[in-house]
């Protein structure tokens, strides 16, 4: 790295972009010019890396989300530039921490789906695999969350407000995406994905939508100002916001436009590049493996068929062979409402040619099923176009792919045994498991340098950074008091850092000596933040009744967003904040119990929360969480899991030992036995304290400001709703078991060395959960790509 050159480029960038000398720039401008100067070092390596994979088979990750997190720190660590940059900034009188904080999180994803995609890109580049991401360059993220009077408030998340120095616009590679009612221009923006060590730099290509005509000049001259830019606005809306509200028909149309927009642009891009060096399209699948990250990009299957059969004039059966050899599909959920279905009428309206192709795919499927011996009366179980006039995107993905994988062993078995059992019976060879993982570069090396240094010291090398399995060797220190006390000191440091961050951002003081109990994830009923909240309220009442209750002070931290139209999830957020206020205003309890809502939870907040956690809340209803990756981040940072036998929790407990975690509640097989006869009223009336906390929703203890949120939430548990049974996620049934597990955890925390040993056993057994391992599995078993020699 040429430090003097970096300094010169920073000075030039400051003048060119901001007409200022470097020392006159504000912190956002300093971040921009520093990042731009680093891109001058990155781009030549990037070009070299792209060239070394020319002519080889590559993999492409199609995803509606890429939750990348901040780029600056991650990139300088992966490039081994950190010490040089710190020295340079010190010489220039600049504070690195302030510059780091000036970077906005790239708001290109929402939760685990998008963060997994980011981890995979990091791992592939680190391992020297050619994996490239394709998605949408959203102008605004899902939303920026604020809390007012306990309610979630959504505002625009303008992550591009101060520019994006890490991406390069390639307007000369734009393509046109066509709908029945409009043609739009897809402009690619490329971001370097820098592998650790900097040897391989792959690409995340994101598409921005623009109008082919930016202004209707005739209308403008006729004073029709709004009409003159309508075409421009309609086109730009496609890449405006991540997951626009689709509660009504117009929202659904925009979602469909988004999905088709990025897969059509991406496939056109791949076909165009391929044809530059090949005379026939027939070998397309030999050089391309495309992973569909859930069903959002499933329309890629008929779109590639359109390109092959209509544009390239390949006969149907050969085209279908290319398609199925190209695509593989990752299923991320067993929830029926998340298995996308699209109304036929929307496809006919916006994408009539694509709908015709889906119709033909469906006909071919039925012919194949009959050939396989499926009776005509059972074919409806497989049809892509259902009798309800919907297109089943999961079924299209399964039929159009050569591989279908779940994301944790339990999840995959549920898919095979129940949710997709019909498909598994006829295509067993397609189904496989790829347990999710996380990148230790961001979630330990970057976010917890103190613990990283201890691990490197004890191992005698930093090989774990690219081979996390090495940390298993450190199990020999599980009874070493010196090492365990050093671990506890590091945990205390991270808790103090989090406490300072929360005081700054939330205005709340928390006690670092208390037990930090953290649940951070998207708000959904099956994730059961409501169960956690009910327990806290029950604990509040128990402390009120017995002020001398023998327990360690406990700080409960929540973080996550509810979808704007998901009113029940928003009611739970309001309930948590009302409990928080109740406790804060009670001098008898507030020193023993604390609730914090981490506002606008995102990757940057997570980098503070995961290292500081003592207890990791993974309490979803058994069988509902496909995998989870937050559970892995907590484990890697030495937190203990309080959770159900669900998703990857099962494998976490296998690796670290059930005795080193707190497992409670119903298991999948238990739910199967009771779900038809389950009566939540019994538990509501007979479990001590449960009726009292449930009734606070309706007895005036809390006020939902006339929204009806609390009554509806109460009724959904006690009486059910028009589309679900009472207590559909078994909150009341699992309440007592969860409370018992919480008591065990609080008691265990009193013995610090014993607790530290349990934490250490989780940390050193986290090696399986590196995304490096997951990507190796995908590369070898699905994508069939090779590392560069």
DSSP string, 106-134: --S--SHHHHHHHHHHHHHHHTT--EEEE
- Predicted local confidence at residue 339, as pLDDT: 81
- Selection from 99, 282, 75 nearest residue 166 by Cα: 75
629 is catalytic: yes
Indicate which residue of 333, 412, 439, 629 is catalytic. 629
Residue 419 lies in a domain: yes
CA distance 439 to 131: 15
> Does residue 511 sit in the same domain as residue 641?
yes
The answer to whether 28 and 9 have CB atoms below 8 angstroms apart is: no
Whether 534 and 407 share a structural domain? no
**263 in a domain, yes or no?**
yes
Kindly name the residue from 137, 527, 624, 757 that is annotated as catalytic: 527
Mention every residue, 6+ apart, whose C-beta is less than 8 A from residue 751. none
Asked if 203 and 300 sit in the same domain, the reply is yes
pLDDT at 758: 98
Which residues pair with residue 168 across a beta bridge?
190
Q: Do 465 and 451 belong to one domain?
A: yes
Q: State the Cα angle at 357 between 353 and 362, rounded to 5°.
A: 145
d(CA 183, CA 177): 6
Residue 361 lies in a domain: no
Residues 417 and 515 in one domain: no
Token pair 């792959």 in the structure block, residue: 202
Do residues 38 and 6 lie in contact, with contact meaning Cβ atoms separated by under 8 Å?
yes
Catalytic residue among 522, 592, 739, 768: 522
Q: Are residues 480 and 622 in the same domain?
A: yes
Q: Are residues 504 and 407 in the same domain?
A: no
pLDDT at 1: 77
For residue 370, tell me if it sits in a domain: no
In a domain, 250, yes or no: yes
Angle between helices 352-371 and 316-326 (to 10 degrees): 90
Q: For residue 256, is it within any domain?
A: yes
Residues 588, 737: one domain?
Answer: yes
Q: Which two tokens stand for residue 35?
A: 């990042």
Are both 463 and 334 inside the same structural domain?
no
- Report which DSSP code applies to 665: S
Q: What angle do CA 767, 772, 778 make, to 5 degrees?
A: 120
Total structural domains within the chain: 2
**Calpha distance 394→329 (Å, rounded):** 9
Look up the pTM and report it: 0.97
327: closest CA among 349, 351, 302? 302
Separation of alpha carbons 164 and 149, rounded Å = 34
Selecting among 332, 411, 441, 495, the annotated active-site residue is 332
Parts of the chain with a pLDDT under 50? none
Is there a single domain that holds both residue 415 and residue 456? no
Judge whether 633 counts as a catalytic residue.
Answer: yes
One domain for residues 593 and 640: yes
Residue-level pLDDT at 789: 64
Residue 597 domain flag? yes
Each residue's pLDDT tens digit, 571-630: 999 999 999 999 999 999 999 999 999 999 999 999 999 999 999 999 999 999 999 999
**CATH for 263:** 3.40.50.2000
From residue 243, alpha-carbon distances to 45, 252, 564, 570, 611 in Å are 34, 10, 10, 17, 30
Active site residue 496: no
Residue with tokens 């169960």, as numbered in its chain: 531
645 occurs within a structural domain: yes
**Is 332 labeled as catalytic in the residue annotation?**
yes
Closest among 713, 715, 716, 730 to 678, alpha carbons compared: 730
Q: Are residues 548 and 602 in the same domain?
A: yes
| Residue whose C-alpha is closest to residue 409's, from 618, 131, 772, 668 | 668
| 521 flagged as catalytic | yes
20 is annotated as an active-site residue: no
Rounded to whole angstroms, the Cα distance separating 668 from 621 reads 9
Per the structure, the complete domain to which residue 239 belongs is given by 53-69+105-338+394-435+776-783
């Amino acid at each position: 790295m040429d430090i003097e050159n970096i300094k010169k480029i920073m000075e030039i960038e400051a003048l060119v972009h901001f007409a200022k000398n470097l020392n006159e720039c504000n912190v956002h401008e300093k971040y921009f010019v520093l990042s731009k100067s680093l891109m001058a070092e990155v781009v030549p390596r990037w070009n070299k890396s792209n060239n070394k994979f020319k002519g080889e088979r590559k993999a492409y990750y199609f995803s509606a989300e890429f939750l990348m997190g901040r780029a600056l720190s991650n990139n300088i660590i992966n490039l081994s530039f950190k010490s040089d940059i710190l020295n340079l900034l010190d010489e220039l009188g600049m504070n690195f921490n302030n510059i780091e904080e000036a970077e906005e999180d790239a708001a290109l994803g929402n939760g685990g789906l998008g963060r997994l995609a980011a981890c995979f890109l990091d791992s592939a580049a680190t391992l020297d695999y050619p994996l490239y991401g394709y998605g949408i360059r959203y102008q605004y993220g899902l939303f920026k969350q604020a809390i007012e009077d306990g309610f979630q408030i959504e505002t625009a998340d303008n992550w591009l407000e101060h520019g994006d120095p890490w991406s390069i616009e390639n307007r000369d590679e734009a393509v046109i995406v066509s709908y029945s009612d409009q043609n739009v221009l897809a402009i690619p923006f490329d971001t370097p994905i820098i592998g650790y060590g900097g040897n391989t730099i792959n690409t995340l290509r994101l598409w921005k939508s623009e109008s082919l005509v930016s202004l209707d000049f005739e209308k403008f001259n006729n004073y029709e100002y709004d009409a003159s830019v309508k075409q421009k606005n309609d086109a730009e809306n496609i890449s405006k916001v991540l997951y626009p509200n689709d509660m009504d028909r117009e929202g659904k149309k925009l979602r469909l436009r988004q999905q088709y927009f990025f897969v059509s642009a991406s496939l056109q891009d791949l076909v165009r590049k391929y044809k530059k060096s090949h005379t026939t399209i027939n070998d397309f699948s030999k050089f391309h493996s495309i992973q569909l990250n859930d069903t959002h990009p499933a329309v890629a299957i008929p779109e590639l068929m359109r390109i092959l059969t209509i544009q390239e004039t390949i006969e149907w059966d050969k085209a279908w062979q290319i398609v199925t050899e190209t695509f593989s599909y990752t299923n991320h959920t067993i929830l029926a409402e998340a298995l996308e279905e699209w109304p036929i009428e929307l496809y006919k309206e916006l994408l009539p040619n694509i709908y015709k192709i889906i119709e033909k795919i469906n006909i071919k499927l039925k012919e194949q099923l009959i050939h396989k011996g499926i009776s005509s009366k059972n074919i409806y179980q497989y049809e892509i176009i259902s009798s309800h006039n919907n297109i089943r995107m999961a079924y299209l993905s399964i039929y159009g792919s050569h591989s279908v994988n779940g994301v944790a062993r339990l999840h995959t078995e549920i898919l095979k045994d129940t949710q997709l059992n019909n498909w598994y019976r006829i295509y067993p060879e397609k189904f496989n498991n790829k347990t999710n993982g996380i990148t230790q570069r961001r979630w330990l090396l970057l976010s917890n340098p103190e613990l990283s240094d201890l691990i490197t010291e004890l191992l005698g090398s930093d090989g774990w950074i690219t081979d996390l399995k090495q940390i298993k060797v450190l199990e020999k220190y599980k009874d070493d008091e010196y090492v365990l006390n050093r671990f506890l000191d590091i945990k205390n440091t991270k808790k103090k850092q989090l406490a300072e961050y929360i005081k700054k951002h939330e205005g709340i003081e928390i006690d670092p000596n208390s037990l930090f109990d953290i649940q951070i994830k998207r708000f959904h009923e099956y994730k059961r933040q409501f169960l956690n909240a009910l327990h806290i309220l029950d604990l509040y009442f128990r402390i009120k009744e017995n002020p001398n209750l023998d327990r360690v002070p406990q700080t409960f931290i929540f973080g996550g967003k509810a979808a704007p139209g998901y009113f029940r999830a928003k009611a739970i957020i309001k309930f948590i904040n009302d409990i928080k206020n109740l406790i804060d205003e009670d001098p008898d309890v507030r020193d023993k119990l604390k609730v914090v809502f981490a506002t606008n939870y995102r990757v940057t907040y997570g980098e503070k929360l995961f290292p500081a956690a003592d207890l990791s809340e993974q309490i979803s209803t058994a069988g509902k969480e496909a995998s989870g990756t937050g559970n892995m981040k907590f484990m890697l940072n030495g937190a203990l899991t309080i959770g159900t036998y669900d998703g990857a929790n099962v494998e976490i407990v296998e690796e670290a030992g059930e005795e080193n975690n707190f497992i409670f509640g119903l298991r999948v097989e238990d739910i199967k036995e009771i779900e038809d006869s389950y009566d939540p009223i019994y538990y509501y009336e007979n479990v001590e304290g449960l009726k009292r906390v449930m009734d606070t929703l309706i007895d005036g203890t809390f006020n939902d400001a006339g929204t009806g949120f609390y009554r509806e939430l109460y009724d959904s548990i006690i009486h059910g709703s028009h589309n679900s049974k009472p207590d559909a996620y078994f909150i009341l049934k699992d309440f007592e078991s969860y409370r018992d597990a919480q008591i065990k955890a609080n008691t265990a925390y009193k013995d610090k060395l014993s607790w530290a040993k349990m934490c250490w056993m989780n940390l050193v057994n986290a090696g399986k959960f590196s995304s490096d391992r997951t990507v190796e599995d995908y590369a070898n078993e699905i994508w069939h790509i090779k590392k560069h020699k």
